[in-house]
Structure 1
Amino acid sequence: MDPRDVVRRSKRLSYVLRHAPGSVGLTLDAAGWADVEALLAALGWTRAELEHVVATNDKRRFALDETGTRIRASQGHSVAVDLGYAAEDPPPVLFHGTAERNLPAIEAEGLRPGRRHAVHLSPDEATARRVGARHGGVGGKAIVLRVDAAGMARDGAVFTRSANG
């Protein structure tokens, strides 16, 4: 499969599993899982095409269950789901990548999940920079914020780790 086709399919799969399952007639269960056969029928994909997109996604955005009959996005949902990730102690520092245009709102209000369920933090600056670059848009500048995760945890913030880290 052409790498551009993989990216296009990954974006389509992200949209369906994270934001709009109803757009293709799917329903997610409470934990965000969708039936693979129903998804394949809705998208007109083969099982091999789906497995290739899941296996080659560099961000590990998707997870198949142990039986291979259900699939879900690992994080980033705007629809109500409970992914069941357990709370855990964070490392001392984490990083948040965003677009420079978001900095005034972050300075005024702090990090907020917006339309998502959680604020996504990265374990390293390089990953956060890639995330920020995606949100920077044409001509936008990516910035990386250093987050005192240990201090936030001491103050009562709850941290979970998604399936893709």
Structure 2
Amino acid sequence: MSISRRIAFLLRHRPETAGLTLDANGWVPVGDLLAALPIGRAELDEIVANDEKSRYAIERRADGSEWIRANQGHSRRVAVDLGLASASPPAVLFHGTPGRNRASILRDGLRPGSRHHVHLSVDVPTALVVGRRRSADVLVFRVAAGPMAAAGHVFHRSENGVWLTDAVPPEYLLLEPTNP
């Protein structure tokens, strides 16, 4: 497992495996994370700065301490406040998912499952990449985000461009034809 993937695993899913404890908003002291990894601060800064998906945020607090968190994707049921304001989404967004989820999504819509939000992509290629993380058999759903927002559903845009919402009812979904 690469160091970047290990960091994501620890900050999103299983911090306790490295003796880490996230605060209520998903932050952990940078020093604690570094103590759990075979890298130094310069390498961590390089990983954070060059991460193509902008997975991480580092903040300096009033007392001078530095803390790090994953920007989204947490599977832990903690009160992670990402500090994201609501935003007006584009008219259409997309969601990539394993084909085995087709029937339940058409029946129940998109639910966050073990995450805090449903994650949506701005285009089909990105949705395909996301869906392929779990299965080679990928479906892409077109999400009528504009009409959802007009009906009162709240959307957020994370620091790395991923759109987040609490759920997507089935009436706002259409199976997108794709050529994987």
The total of aligned residue pairs comes to 156
The whole-number CA distance in structure 1 between the counterparts of 2:47 and 2:99 is 31
SS in 2 for 1:160: strand
Match for residue 162 of structure 1? 158
**Greater Cα shift, 154-163 or 106-115:** 154-163
The whole-number CA distance in structure 2 between the counterparts of 1:44 and 1:146 is 42
Residue 143 of structure 1: how far off its partner (Å): 2.0
Q: Which has the higher strand share?
A: 2
Match for residue 66 of structure 2? 69
Match for residue 131 of structure 1? 130
The whole-number CA distance in structure 1 between the counterparts of 2:85 and 2:67 is 21
- Could you list the per-position Cα deviations for residues 86-140 of structure 1 after superposition, in whole angstroms to 9, with x for gaps in the alignment? 111111111111111111111111001000000000112221111011121xxx3
Matched, 1:13 2:7: yes
The whole-number CA distance in structure 1 between the counterparts of 2:123 and 2:57 is 22
Match for residue 4 of structure 1? none
Matched, 1:30 2:13: no
Counterpart among 131, 136, 149 of residue 145 in structure 2: 149
What's the TM-score, normalizing by structure 1?
0.87
**Greater Cα shift, 70-79 or 51-60:** 51-60
The whole-number CA distance in structure 2 between the counterparts of 1:86 and 1:117 is 15
Residue 53 of structure 1: how far off its partner (Å): 2.0
**Does the CA-based 8 Å contact 1:132-1:142 persist in structure 2?**
yes
SS in 2 for 1:120: strand
Residue 26 of structure 1: how far off its partner (Å): 1.5
Q: Which runs of 5+ in 2 are unaligned?
A: 162-180
Moved over 4 A (4+): none
Q: Which has the higher helix share?
A: 1
Match for residue 112 of structure 1? 111
Matched, 1:41 2:41: no
What's the TM-score, normalizing by structure 2?
0.80
- Superposed CA RMSD: 1.7
